[in-house]
Homo-oligomer: A and B are copies of this chain.
């Protein structure tokens, strides 16, 4: 199995990206990684470690300042566009990982790879931690589609349900609709229209969920439009980081230095628990091939996790499952 990695995307590129790829092939013996970017730099970092690692030369880099569509169309020699070209042209390459500009990754996926038949809008689906040990929750969409119709939310629901199954092995993940109340009649027009349609899907739809229950661990998937999903995701990040800062300040104030030190350690543990990046990246669900965007600040461990995540999704036939579900859904609505 081969995965292509954009070695020059992200704040810590290329060192952390390349080192992450090395860790991934070390951990998974049937995995090959293709790294795109400046060959001389990558070779320097690899320093002779070449087993199951290929390099494809790319001179340019797409940054967060580049307009996504323009960048994908014009920066043909960038590490990201090269990676997409490889993904598109090679049947044995099953997926792509990038820590680069989210906009460019989404645009590249749409323009270069295309959508699964029947899916009108691919969606970004990050993972959040919950208060239950080893239990996470997926948010779909978290920002790729800021204006949605109910049809899009239905697609998000089946895609994220299939994704949750592929990641956790749970064959019947609980899918909820993000809403401002739990009762069926609650919500904006989009939610009210979508709720009854979600009930008809061949997934385990469990009703509405309020944002305050997101971390409860009671559901596996939360479906929402990309605007509200983005607000949800970023406020979780913001509060977690804000509280960590406040806790740190409290700990520093502590006069007993030993207690202060123990507290800091605990806070660090909590911060790690709240860190959404350790779970890997956010797949762009609904593309013909697996595309996973990981955080711009990702270091080698996160890069490794993200590459292994792509391998897992491929082995668990995520895209085939999405195709089946969308077909079942279309047939049902035509019947």
Q: Which of A172-226 contact B (CB under 8 A)?
A: 178, 180, 187-189, 191, 210-216, 224-226
Contacting pair B215 A234 (CB below 8 A): no
Query: Interface segment, A69-77, A155-163, A240-248?
Result: A240-248
Closest to A267 in B: B247
Copies of this subunit? 2
Given contacts A237-B212, A266-B263, contact A273 B246 (CB under 8 A): yes
Contacting pair B262 A238 (CB below 8 A): no
Partner of A235, one of B211, B242, B263: B211
Closest to A244 in B: B243
Task: Say yes or no: is A250 at the interface (Cβ < 8 Å to chain B).
Answer: yes
Contacting pair A231 B228 (CB below 8 A): yes
A241 to B: closest C-beta gap in Å: 7
Given contacts A247-B266, A250-B270, A270-B250, contact A235 B232 (CB under 8 A): yes
Residues of B within 8 Å of A256, CB to CB, are 262
Task: Say yes or no: is A279 at the interface (Cβ < 8 Å to chain B).
Answer: no
Partner of A180, one of B227, B240, B241: B227
Residues of B within 8 Å of A147, CB to CB, are 188-189
Enumerate chain A interface residues (CB-CB to B < 8 A).
130-131, 143, 146-147, 178, 180, 187-189, 191, 210-216, 224-228, 230-243, 245-247, 250-251, 254, 256, 258-259, 262-263, 266, 269-270, 273-274
